[in-house]
């Protein structure tokens, strides 16, 4: 945006949802005027027109001040992003051991993966995999230097991949680690339509960031909505001066963006994981998917029926979103979050974020407190964090603003509007079982309140959005809450779910029996919906 | 009513008929394409030979032949290389790995068209002459037959007779695996159904896998699922189209899952612009007229969803979440 408009539209086009928001200049700063989300397949022009029409009907004076009465909707400036369907990467290696970190790197870099190693697949199977028309990229990797168990297979593997590359010139190829030594087998690649990239060896954790960034670049265009969430998380961390975790669950994948503000001479930084298998509705709900969803289901549906419902969710993600449909979506969202956690294991060892922001079309049908509970059910770690919801789906469009300064300035104006506060969740770890583990004293504007803390459940304390308080925890035994100790004082802020003291196990332990598990999950979910302790 | 709120374009649109139709036939290494790009193919023309049990042989190929990955190789007549012919896969230490096999099945195109691309070991793409009705999934292989049947009735295994041999049956809202298996055994070429549950799908695929493992060639058969996994009536617009196609030769293809028909004279009735179909929820299957968007409403389960008012043929109106609706364009 180079001119000085009074209003602009943002649009986040996902595989299942189109979300539009109207942002206007009010009182010298940008404010969120309104937002709407409808199922994908609707006409975005009609969506924008309806949004502007509603604003004009509710507040004609404001609409006139923003120039909406004289600017056709089509001429309003727009900041648009779209999430692109994940593509498939064939991952091959000399040994099963070498394959594991390669698949882990690709699975969290925006790719769906199919994999094979020379140890378990013969050359014909591997060629069939690489030549499959559904494969959009090839990653061949080895350790650096290659380990003894893979060294012997690398020559033949290099020849096989080079032959596939020759036959499929439109497919990008990544040679990682010691596999780069086989580059000679590919001949002259200067005229190849798709790139042949050399990457570092796949490693778990921060050491593997180089290859993951390379794979993300090859997987998704720069203006992809999920990639934009990374930039938005950094800008938000800088603006709020806090550690931020953005967690997105969408139809076709999930995203986790962790960002932290700069300190001393270090600049703000972030880590981005885009996990296609963490989508709400996997394309093929196999047994693993059904098991994951069943684990979090509050009803004891048989497996075939659950699979049918997951298929229907894939075909029409917005249909049947009332009644039991809400519970199904929340179970599927938790299953997706567990996939996200599986592919980002090092997140668990990091300091807890100060603010966790939920975003994505999945949360559109759930109440705010239910969203926070879903996140703390699955992405569990001891600590205290605020939770917020990107209810207007603004983060990705704003993250796509190319100029970092402009992005920060707009986010600074809009932070309060775009983040719907869900509340603060305090999760002490290492609690002992018993009748009481301690007490909470909440010092707020309305005086002092005291609550006994009983392990195994949720202690819900009313604290409305905008309210702040000081929570003083006194435990009978030493617990983990950031550090280890018995006495903690934490500044907390309110939200739609108030203050939640989560006294359940970290990680969460659920009963094996489906009916007991369903009852327990329903009790917790019902508690946050109604505001009563569970 | 004027303005954006009356705009039916807020309802997700689904194309009723798709044209042009590019169909992909998958190949594996060793399969032999019989067509080349830009060639015209007629109905039933063999386009490839698919190997039943491919294997990889190491063979010395003289460099004078300028071998390339994906190229064809023919061995000496005495068969001393173990293979008569095959596909060059890759070269390693001076010898080529060649994919080949003794037994193959012909792959025939079930529609006429023009070959858009041939990629040995990967796929053949053909642009079909005609148009297509898109489904959710198609199980089986490409097939062709005369469309017959009644979408408003449910087909049971006992209801099949030999008159259906060679036909593609439209069977309504749901079908079970036993009926599908028996239909295939009786020479039916395909089935078009609105919904196929996961259990029936699994049972049918298991039956098909058992058949495939036998040495004799399976007759072409496919199941085209139009809507999803649960019982749901056929949409009015689709019903009208299937009615118009009844008695004509049509094809089912799997990639994309589609019913392909080549009847240039067929005029596909355009559904009214404001006609919407309820896809999910308590009113699933009903069709009505979009009246207006009415904003977010609270629905059972506590969900606040954008909704619109729909007027049904019996004169009643109901607030329906936008996500439960679809319209055909």
Note whether B239 and B177 are same-domain residues. Answer: yes
How many whole angstroms separate alpha carbon B47 and alpha carbon B30?
A: 14
Give A255-303 pLDDT, tens digit per residue. Answer: 999 999 988 778 888 999 999 999 999 998 999 999 999 999 998 888 9
Q: What angle do CA A101, A105, A111 make, to 5 degrees?
A: 135
Mean pLDDT, rounded, for A166-189: 95
Q: Which residues of A touch B199 (CB under 8 A)?
A: 304
Window 43-82 of B: residues touching A by CB (8 A cutoff) are 54-56, 68-70
Name the helix (H) or strand (E) containing B138: strand B137-140
Residues shown for chain B? 329
The token duo for A159 is: 């020849």
- Clarify whether residues B88 and B150 are in a common domain: no
Q: Chain A residue with minimal CA distance to B296?
A: A36
Q: Does residue B73 share a domain with residue B96?
A: yes
The CATH code of the domain that includes B283 is: 2.30.30
Which pLDDT value is given to residue A264? 77
The per-residue pLDDT for range B231-284, each reduced to its tens digit, is 888 899 999 999 999 999 999 999 999 999 999 999 888 889 999 999 988 899
Per-residue pLDDT, A236: 96
The arrangement of secondary structure in A7-82, i.e. its CATH architecture, is 2-Layer Sandwich (3.30)
ipTM of this complex: 0.90
Q: What percent of chain A has pLDDT over 70?
A: 99
Q: What local confidence, expressed as pLDDT, does residue B82 receive?
A: 67
Do the Cβ atoms of A311 and B279 come within 8 Å? no
- At the fourth CATH level, the homologous superfamily of domain A87-219 is Response regulator (3.40.50.2300)
Let me know whether B159 and B143 are in one domain.
yes
* A510 phi/psi in degrees, rounded to 5: -115, 150
Residue A26 CB contacts under 8 Å (≥ 6 apart), including other chains: A33, A62, A65, A66
Task: Write the pLDDT tens digit of every residue in A345-365.
Answer: 988 888 889 999 999 989 988
Tell me: the pLDDT tens digits for B176-190? 999 999 999 899 999
Asked which of B224, B253, B269 is the last residue of a domain, the reply is B269
Residue B168 touches partner A, C-beta closer than 8 Å: no
In B80-119, the residues whose Cβ lies within 8 Å of chain A are: 89-93, 97, 99, 119
* Closest partner CB to B322 (pick from A39, A131, A365): A39
Same domain, B158 and B77: no
pLDDT (mean) for A392-407: 96
Distance CA A534, CA A525 (A): 9
Q: Given an 8 Å threshold on Cβ–Cβ distance, is A311 in contact with B228?
A: yes
The mean per-residue pLDDT over the stretch A505-533 comes to 90
pLDDT band at B55 (very low <50, low <70, confident <90, very high): very high
Partners of B302 on chain A (C-beta within 8 Å) are 326, 367, 529
**CA-CA distance, A55 to A22, in Å (whole number)?**
9
Whether residue B239 is found in the same domain as residue B276: no
pLDDT band at B1 (very low <50, low <70, confident <90, very high): very low
pLDDT of B2 higher than 60: no
Is residue A346 less than 8 Å (CB to CB) from chain B?
Answer: no
Q: Do B78 and B204 belong to one domain?
A: no
pLDDT bucket at B155, cuts 50 / 70 / 90 = confident
Name the residue facing A39 among B12, B197, B300 (closest C-beta): B12
- Residue B306 in contact with partner chain A when CB distance is under 8 A: yes
The half-sphere exposure of A216 on its side-chain side, counting CA atoms within 13 A, is: 24
Q: In terms of Cα–Cα distance, which of A96, A83, A84, A110 is closest to A174?
A: A110
Q: What is the pLDDT of residue B153?
A: 66
Q: Are residues B253 and B280 in the same domain?
A: no
For residue B110, the enclosing domain spans 22-49+104-129
Give the pLDDT score at A509: 92
Hey, are the CB atoms on B9 and A43 less than 8 Å from each other? yes
Q: Exposed, middle or buried: residue A61 (CB in 10 Å: 0-12, 13-18, 19+)?
A: exposed
Q: Are residues B232 and B201 in the same domain?
A: yes
* Most A-contacting residue of B123, B301, B302, B304 (CB-CB within 10 A), to test interface: B301
Number of compact structural domains in chain B: 4
Q: Is B256 on the interface with A (CB under 8 A)?
A: no
**pLDDT interval class at A464 (50, 70, 90):** very high
Q: Which of A52, A127, A326 sits opposite B301 (nearest CB)?
A: A326
Residues of A in contact with B230 (CB under 8 A): 308, 312
B259 and B301 fall within a common domain:
no
Which pLDDT score is estimated for A1? 46
Q: What is the mean pLDDT of chain A?
A: 93
Best of A320, A326, A371 to disrupt the B interface by mutation (most B CBs within 10 Å)? A320
Q: A259 CA to chain B: closest CA distance, Å? A: 31
What is the per-residue pLDDT across B208-218, written as a single tens digit (0 to 9) for each? Answer: 888 877 766 67
Report domain extents, chain A. Answer: 7-82, 87-219, 225-530
CA distance A524 to chain B (A): 16
Q: Residue B91: is its pLDDT beyond 80?
A: yes
Q: What is the CATH number of the domain that holds B144?
A: 3.50.30.10
Closest partner residue to A308 among B56, B69, B198, by Cβ?
B198
Decide if A42 and B11 are in contact by the 8 Å CB cutoff.
Answer: yes
The reply to whether residue B198 touches residue A304, judged by beta carbons under 8 angstroms, is yes
β-pairing, A137-142 vs A173-177, is parallel
Given CB atoms, is B313 within the 8 Å cutoff of chain A? no
- C-alpha distances in angstroms, B39 versus A474, B47, B118, B125? 81, 10, 10, 11
pLDDT tens digits, residue range A147-164? 998 999 999 999 999 999
pLDDT computed for residue A531 by the predictor: 72
Q: Are residues B114 and B95 in the same domain?
A: no
Chain A CB within 8 Å of residue B183 CB: no
**Confidence band of A486 (pLDDT split at 50, 70, 90):** very high
pLDDT class for B304, splitting at 50, 70, 90? confident
Give percent above pLDDT 90 in chain A. Answer: 84
pLDDT confidence of residue A3 = 55
């Amino acid at each position: 945006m180079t001119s000085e408009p009074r209003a602009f539209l943002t649009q986040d086009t996902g595989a299942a949802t189109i979300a539009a928001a109207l942002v206007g200049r009010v009182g010298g700063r940008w404010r969120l005027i309104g937002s709407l989300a409808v199922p994908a397949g609707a006409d975005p022009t009609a969506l924008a027109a309806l949004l502007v029409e509603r604003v004009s009907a509710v507040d004609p004076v404001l609409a006139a001040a923003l120039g909406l009465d004289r600017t056709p909707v089509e001429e309003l400036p727009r900041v648009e992003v779209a999430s692109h369907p994940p593509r498939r990467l064939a991952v091959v290696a000399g040994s099963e051991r070498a394959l594991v970190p390669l698949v882990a790197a690709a699975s969290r870099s925006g790719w769906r993966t199919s994999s094979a190693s020379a140890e378990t697949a013969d050359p014909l199977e591997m060629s069939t995999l690489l030549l499959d028309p559904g494969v959009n990229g090839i990653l061949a990797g080895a350790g650096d230097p290659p380990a003894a168990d893979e060294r012997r297979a690398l020559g033949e593997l290099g020849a096989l991949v080079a032959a596939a590359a020759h036959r499929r010139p439109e497919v990008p190829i990544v040679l990682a680690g010691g596999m780069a030594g086989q580059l000679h087998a590919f001949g002259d690649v200067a005229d190849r339509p798709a790139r042949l990239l050399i990457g570092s060896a796949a490693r778990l954790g921060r050491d593997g960031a180089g290859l993951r960034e390379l794979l993300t670049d090859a997987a998704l265009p720069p203006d992809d909505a999920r990639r934009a969430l990374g930039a938005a998380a950094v800008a938000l961390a800088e603006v709020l001066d806090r550690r931020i975790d953005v967690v997105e669950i969408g139809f076709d994948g999930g995203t986790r963006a962790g960002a932290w503000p700069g300190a001393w001479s270090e600049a703000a930084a972030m880590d981005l994981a885009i996990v296609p298998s963490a989508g709400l509705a996997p394309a093929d709900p196999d047994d693993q998917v059904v098991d994951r969803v069943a684990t979090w289901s509050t009803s004891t549906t048989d497996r075939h029926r659950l699979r049918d419902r997951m298929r229907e969710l894939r075909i029409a993600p917005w249909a049947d979103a009332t009644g039991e449909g809400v519970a199904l979506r929340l179970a599927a969202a938790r299953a997706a979050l567990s996939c996200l956690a599986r592919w980002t294991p090092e997140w668990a060892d990091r300091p807890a974020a100060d603010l966790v922001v939920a975003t994505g079309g999945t949360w559109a049908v759930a109440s705010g407190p239910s969203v926070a509970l879903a996140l703390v059910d699955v992405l569990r770690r001891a600590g205290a964090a605020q939770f917020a919801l990107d209810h207007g789906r603004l983060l990705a469009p704003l993250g796509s603003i190319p100029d970092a300064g402009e992005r920060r300035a707009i986010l600074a104006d809009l932070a309060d509007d775009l983040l719907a506060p869900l509340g603060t969740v305090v999760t002490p770890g290492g609690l002992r079982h018993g009748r009481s583990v301690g007490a909470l004293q909440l010092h707020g504007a309305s005086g002092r309140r005291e609550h006994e803390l009983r392990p195994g459940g949720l202690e819900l304390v009313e604290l409305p959005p905008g309210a702040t308080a000081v929570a003083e925890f006194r435990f009978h035994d030493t617990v983990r809450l950031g550090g280890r100790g018995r006495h903690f004082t934490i500044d907390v802020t309110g939200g739609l779910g108030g203050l939640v003291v989560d006294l359940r196990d970290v990680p969460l332990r659920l009963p094996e029996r489906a009916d007991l598990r369903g009852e327990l999950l329903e009790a917790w979910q019902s508690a946050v919906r109604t505001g009563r302790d569970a | 009513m004027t303005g954006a709120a009356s705009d039916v374009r807020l309802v997700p649109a689904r194309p009723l008929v798709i044209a042009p139709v590019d169909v992909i036939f998958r190949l594996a290494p060793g399969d032999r394409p019989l067509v080349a790009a830009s060639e015209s193919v007629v109905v039933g023309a063999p386009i490839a030979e698919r190997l039943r049990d491919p294997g990889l042989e190491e063979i010395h190929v003289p460099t004078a032949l300028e071998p390339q990955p994906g190229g064809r190789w023919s061995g000496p007549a005495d068969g001393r290389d173990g293979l008569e012919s095959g596909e060059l896969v890759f070269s390693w230490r001076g010898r080529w790995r060649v994919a080949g096999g003794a037994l193959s099945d012909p792959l025939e195109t079930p529609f006429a068209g023009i070959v858009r691309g041939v990629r040995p070991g990967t796929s053949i793409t053909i642009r079909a002459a005609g148009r297509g009705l898109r489904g959710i999934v198609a199980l089986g292989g490409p097939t062709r037959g005369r469309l017959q049947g009644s979408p408003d009735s449910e087909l049971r295994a006992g209801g099949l007779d030999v008159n259906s041999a060679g036909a593609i049956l439209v069977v309504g809202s749901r079908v079970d695996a036993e009926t599908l298996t028996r239909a295939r055994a009786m020479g039916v070429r395909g089935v078009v159904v609105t919904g196929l549950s996961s259990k029936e799908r699994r049972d049918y695929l298991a039956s098909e896998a058992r058949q495939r493992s036998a040495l004799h060639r399976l007759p072409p058969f496919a199941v085209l699922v139009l809507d999803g996994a649960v019982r749901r009536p056929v949409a009015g617009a689709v019903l009208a189209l299937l009615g118009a196609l009844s008695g004509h030769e049509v094809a089912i293809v799997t990639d994309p899952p589609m019913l392909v028909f080549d009847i240039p004279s067929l005029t596909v009735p355009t559904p009214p612009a404001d006609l919407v179909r309820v896809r999910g929820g308590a009113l699933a299957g009903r069709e009505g007229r979009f009246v207006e968007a009415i904003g977010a409403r609270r629905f059972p389960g506590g969900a606040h969803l954008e909704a619109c008012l729909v007027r049904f043929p019996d004169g009643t109106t109901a607030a329906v979440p936008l996500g439960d609706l679809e319209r055909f364009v």
